[in-house]
Structure 1
């Protein structure tokens, strides 16, 4: 690696640090914009840019939505019953996990929407609740 190769990497690393200041959470759109900038403006490969972004995020204790989504998917698969259903309490646990991993950078309502979207991606269904009349109203009430 020559000195001319390291200059764009250093400049992109500084841009990432600047963008991450004061944040706790970086969503997919923000991640994508930074990666596009690294490729087009700084001439880095996708792997180089991803590595720099992840390293800076880890150094600053910032959660990346892509990585957070992967761990949340695994949690949801673990919480699902044999019929691929998630109980209301388990959904609340998954939302609490998502918020904790994001460092509180995501509101409760936003975390519920994101976890619901992950459930839909995994084809998981909500388990009905109630003693007499069982319904999934708790799940439908979450705005998508």
Structure 2
């Protein structure tokens, strides 16, 4: 007995809802795992799987990391100076923005790691901080 396309999509949608239950944030790794299941086990196209995940996440109020990354990078670039470097205080504001969008589902340290990763992926540099000898120690202290 073969299942119809709509039944397959419906089963995958139920799997997604199960994974999203009780969460406020879905990171890239978790989303990738769901997409792999959709393509391999349910024979859905990547576009169908992404649409199902996005729809279920919106319905349950879950934020997807992939959709949060773009506005976060735009904010980093906006707050950067003429050379595109981000000051420590602005970095903290971006981390607060990121955490607020996730419904504070992330700790401060996790938020810092994620924002630092976005800075590195988009080649956004930290600005030196300090009175006597300005350094980027504040940025290097964040574990990647």
1:82 matched residue in structure 2: 82
The two structures, once aligned, show a CA RMSD in angstroms of: 1.1
2:12 matched residue in structure 1: 12
2:64 matched residue in structure 1: 64
Q: What is the alpha-carbon distance in structure 2 between the residues aligned to residue 112 and residue 69 of structure 1?
A: 13
Counterparts of residues 1-144 of structure 1 (less than 5 Å): 4-144=4-144
Superposed displacement of residue 132, structure 1 = 2.3
Unaligned runs of 5+ in 1: none
Normalised to the residue count of structure 2, the TM-score between the two structures is: 0.94
- Secondary structure of the 2:4 match is helix
How big is each residue's C-alpha offset from its partner over 1:63-96, in whole Å with a ceiling of 9 and x where there is no partner?
1111111111111111111111001110001100
- Secondary structure of the 1:75 match is helix
Superposed displacement of residue 133, structure 1 = 2.3
How big is each residue's C-alpha offset from its partner over 1:91-121, in whole Å with a ceiling of 9 and x where there is no partner?
0011001101111111100110110111111
Normalised to the residue count of structure 1, the TM-score between the two structures is: 0.94
Superposed displacement of residue 129, structure 1 = 1.6
Q: What is the alpha-carbon distance in structure 2 between the residues aligned to residue 61 and residue 111 of structure 1?
A: 19
Number of corresponding residues: 142
Q: What is the alpha-carbon distance in structure 2 between the residues aligned to residue 28 and residue 125 of structure 1?
A: 23
Runs of at least 4 residues of structure 1 off by over 3 A?
A: none
